[in-house]
Amino acid sequence: MKAKVGVVDFLNKVVTLELTAVHQYLLHAALCKNWGYERLQHEFHELGMEEVGHASKLIDHILYLEGTPDVQKLGSVKSGPNVSKLFEENLTFEQEDANLLREAITHAAKVGDYTTRHKLEEMIKETDEHIDWFETQLRAIKQVGVENYLSEQVKKES
Amino acid sequence: MKAKDGVIDLLNRILTANLTAINQYFIHSKMCENWGYERLHHKVCKRSFDEMKDAEEIIEHTLYLEGVPNMQRLGTVQVGETVPEQFTLDLKAEQEMLKLYTEGVTHCAKVGDYTTRHKLEDMQKDTDDHIDWIETQQELIKQVGLEKYLAEQIKKEGS
């Protein structure tokens, strides 16, 4: 099926963001493992896999719309010297992700592509959940102190 | 543990090759799915995940060596418009990776980093398997013809 004007462009922008997120979470998982925070390593790994899932769905949909998926672009991969900094960077990143998705949803509705809109709405739900998770961790650090928080991250939940 | 001379640089070059391969195989697997070749979709997707596991190990090992993994570099993703073209491009990518691994193994032995060498040797074995698989597909296409080959790719094995 042929895509409506501008839809493939928006989808490709989201693909770039998702692929960047995969790199970022892959790195953050490895950092947490290196620092000894197994629980966080596991959480970041899960986040990374969810982003792979998003990229996969977007590429499928672009091909279905007879567009060309762009997997050559990579945004800026953010890192940090400690867990709190990683959380802050990821929170900003996910918020930007949500902004882009919102723009794309509005555009899809405007041109009358409700299938794409529906797919993007499902993605923004998960992005909101990621934002919520990062906000929760940052709030927990404020409430219990960073040392107490980190000592709880050494063991993975079983 | 501090890394020996040149090891981090090599690991980062390998990481870039891995990250690029992830994207290339991923898009190829998705195209195969879109064309209706379930079996190839499945096979190529697995290859992409193999590369992701290698990338993960390289990142972790670089951090262990107190180096900084470079996640920001991406090589050229070569996208094939047909199945045989995809095989040609993937074979090229794997052969380049093999060269990098060989260089890495030789270098690590020279500077006496046997842990890294061992890890690279394991990855090299996987790359050899990938090359073998792609070459087999190309030979098959030659022997049975493209149409017959593709017709066999419509159903996933075991389904």
CATH number for the domain that contains residue B143: 1.20.1260.10
Note the pLDDT of residue A157: 74
Q: Kindly list the distances between the CA atom of residue A133 and the CA atoms of A88, A90, A91, A127, B134, in Å, as whole numbers in the listed order.
A: 12, 10, 9, 10, 42
Q: Kindly list the distances between the CA atom of residue A66 and the CA atoms of A94, B7, B85, B128, B158, in Å, as whole numbers in the listed order.
A: 28, 44, 19, 34, 30
Cα angle for residues A133, A18, A10 (degrees, 5° grid): 120
Q: Taking every pair of C-alpha atoms in chain A, what is the biggest distance, in angstroms? A: 54
CB nearest A27 (choices: B24, B31, B71): B71
CB contact under 8 A, A77 and B27: no
Note the pLDDT of residue B157: 75
In a domain, B156, yes or no: no
Instruction: Tell whether pTM > 0.90.
Output: yes
Note the pLDDT of residue A144: 97
Which of chain B's residues have a Cβ under 8 Å away from the Cβ of A21?
A: none
Note the pLDDT of residue B2: 87
Whether the CA torsion A16, A22, A24, A27 is positive or negative: it is: negative
CB contact under 8 A, B56 and A26: yes
Instruction: List helix spans (H) across chain A.
Output: 7-35, 38-64, 83-111, 114-144, 146-151
Block residue for tokens 């060269």: B99
A32: number of Cβ within 10 Å: 21
ipTM of the complex: 0.90
d(CA B60, CA A146): 24
List pLDDT tens digits, range A59-118: 999 999 999 999 999 999 999 999 999 999 999 999 999 999 999 999 999 999 999 999
Residues 6+ apart with CB under 8 A from A151: none
Joined together, the tokens standing for residue A109 give 């509705």
Note the pLDDT of residue B133: 97
Closest CA to B31 of A54, A66, A2, A17: A66
d(CA A114, CA A127): 20
Q: What is the chain A residue with the closest CA to B81?
A: A68
A53 touches chain B (CB under 8 A): no
Note the pLDDT of residue B159: 57
d(CA B65, CA B6): 12
Cα angle for residues A33, B17, B38 (degrees, 5° grid): 95
d(CA B16, CA A92): 25
Residues 6+ apart with CB under 8 A from A140: A149
Which of chain B's residues have a Cβ under 8 Å away from the Cβ of A71?
A: 23-24, 26-27, 77, 79
Whether the CA torsion A49, A54, A60, A62 is positive or negative: it is: negative
In a domain, B76, yes or no: yes
Which of chain A's residues have a Cβ under 8 Å away from the Cβ of B63?
A: 30-31, 33-34
Of A71, A74, A76, which to mutate for an interface test with B (greatest number of B Cβ within 10 Å)? A71
List pLDDT tens digits, range B13-71: 999 999 999 999 999 999 999 999 999 999 999 999 999 999 999 999 999 999 999 99
**Rg of the Cα atoms in chain B:** 17
Superfamily of domain A7-151: Ferritin, core subunit, four-helix bundle (1.20.1260.10)
Calculate the average pLDDT of chain A. 96
| Average pLDDT of span B88-109 | 97
What ranges do the domains of chain A cover? 7-151
> With contact defined as beta carbons under 8 Å apart, do B146 and B29 qualify?
no
Domain that includes residue B64, residue range: 7-151
| Average pLDDT of span B103-110 | 97
Joined together, the tokens standing for residue B114 give 């046997």
In a domain, B157, yes or no: no
Calculate the average pLDDT of chain B. 96
Which of chain B's residues have a Cβ under 8 Å away from the Cβ of A11?
A: none
**Count of structural domains, chain B:** 1
Note the pLDDT of residue A109: 96
